[in-house]
Amino acid sequence: MFLLADYYDSFSCVGGSCLNTCCAGWQIEVDSQTLDMYREKSDSFSEYVRANLIYSEGGAKVRLTEERRCPFLNSENLCDIYTHWGDTYMGDTCCAFPRIIWQTPEVTLLAHSLSCEEVLRILFAKVSPVALCSEIAEGEKEIALDTLPNYSIYQFVLWSLEMLQDTSHTFGEALAAVVSMGLKSQTAMQSHDMEGMDNLLKQSDRVLSDVRRGYDVIDKSERVVEPLIASIVDSFWQMVHSRDSYKQGMFYWCEDYFSWDKNTRHQKILEHIKEYKVSAAHITFYRKLSAAFILAQSYRFTTEEGVKNVLQSCLLNYIILVDILPLFWNVEFGTAEYFARIAHIGRIFEYTGGWINDILAPAVAGETGADLDTYIAVLLLRYGI
């Protein structure tokens, strides 16, 4: 049986017309089966392919060009391996992206990575909320969800999708409630405790009122919150600057930014934040995006670290979209370029895995010495209440 995002079948790669192709900017692994097929070939193209691989024990990865592009990506942004030999010769990584497949003996979960601009465009255009649906192959029997070993994880995911897209709460409240509930229910998720999870989820109202109460007692004065947000945004830009990706020329990164001293950078960020108005259309998109992110990352809820990391990343996604992307990138919301840039940001993080360690934790500790979870609440609620 398959569980899939309800927009899963709408995706099809736009190939050569993609503004920010996924065949650049990150490591491309070649699985051992595909590598064996390359080794068996003896034409001149196969020599070229083999010469552009970096071999390691048990596999290989593609040797990217100086511009960090896949060498098999031609000037029309099409794959030479596909053109020469067909899709059978494309490795698992290339065939699968941006699909995320979580296979368990009973059920396969299908979702998409948000590092693809076409996936983002589909989510943007989607009129109904993001949902999970099921499909069975011919002759296969439908399985009741609550008999699955991972049901407690699905319980949390389904609850989160609903909470994030329920417009009777602000988006900030909903995000804070999802983070809070996710952290509370880690044990139930890992021990497959369906009843325990059910009891926790029945307390949604309490979680929301705790979130609001927490907001009331937290010091959210400008003196505390502003340096923290400026620091997170600044850490993000420093991190991007330390990577090569911003030099690829497809994005208009603000070079001036890196010549300013820290105080000037923070001041500019705060000026921007005060001026910037998030529209209702942005919020609707971010709700769907966060729901799709939780769904795509559900396979990581099997460990305590995974739960924490996904939920904190969900928060950072939002801060980045609201406070970073529009900061110096003068690009209109909802355009092809807008999606290409968000996908690019997603890729930087998928590649580095640096969400929490590189940005949030140093920013919080450096500026305030505060504990992370308290400030997650402050940051979330800054946007929602």
- Contact residues for ligand SF4, defined by CB under 6 A: 13-14, 18, 21-22, 97-98, 116-118
Residue 248: Cβ within 10 Å count? 15
Query: Taking the complex as a whole, how short is the minimal distance between the CB of residue 98 and ligand SF4, in angstroms?
Result: 5
CA distance 191 to 12: 37
Two structure tokens written together for 62: 């593609």
Nearer to ligand SF4, 22 or 60 (CB): 22
Residues 192 and 149: beta-carbon distance below 8 Å:
yes
Nearer to ligand SF4, 99 or 241 (CB): 99
CA distance 319 to 290: 12
Q: Is 374 helix (H, G, I), strand (E, B) or coil?
A: helix
Query: Taking the complex as a whole, how short is the minimal distance between the CB of residue 214 and ligand SF4, in angstroms?
Result: 39
Two structure tokens written together for 287: 């709700």
Residues whose CB is less than 8 angstroms from the CB of residue 198 and which lie 6 or more positions away in sequence, other chains included: 155
Nearer to ligand SF4, 113 or 152 (CB): 113
Query: Taking the complex as a whole, how short is the minimal distance between the CB of residue 353 and ligand SF4, in angstroms?
Result: 19
Residues 294 and 102: beta-carbon distance below 8 Å:
no
Residues whose CB is less than 8 angstroms from the CB of residue 261 and which lie 6 or more positions away in sequence, other chains included: none
Nearer to ligand SF4, 82 or 257 (CB): 82
Residues whose CB is less than 8 angstroms from the CB of residue 272 and which lie 6 or more positions away in sequence, other chains included: 323, 326, 327
Query: Taking the complex as a whole, how short is the minimal distance between the CB of residue 97 and ligand SF4, in angstroms?
Result: 6
In one letter, which amino acid is 245? Answer: S
Nearer to ligand SF4, 114 or 364 (CB): 114
Nearer to ligand SF4, 13 or 361 (CB): 13
HSE-up of 194 (CA within 13 Å, CB side)? 8
* Residue 303 DSSP symbol: S
Query: Taking the complex as a whole, how short is the minimal distance between the CB of residue 82 and ligand SF4, in angstroms?
Result: 11
Query: Taking the complex as a whole, how short is the minimal distance between the CB of residue 117 and ligand SF4, in angstroms?
Result: 6
Nearer to ligand SF4, 71 or 214 (CB): 71
In one letter, which amino acid is 121? Answer: R
Query: Taking the complex as a whole, how short is the minimal distance between the CB of residue 78 and ligand SF4, in angstroms?
Result: 10
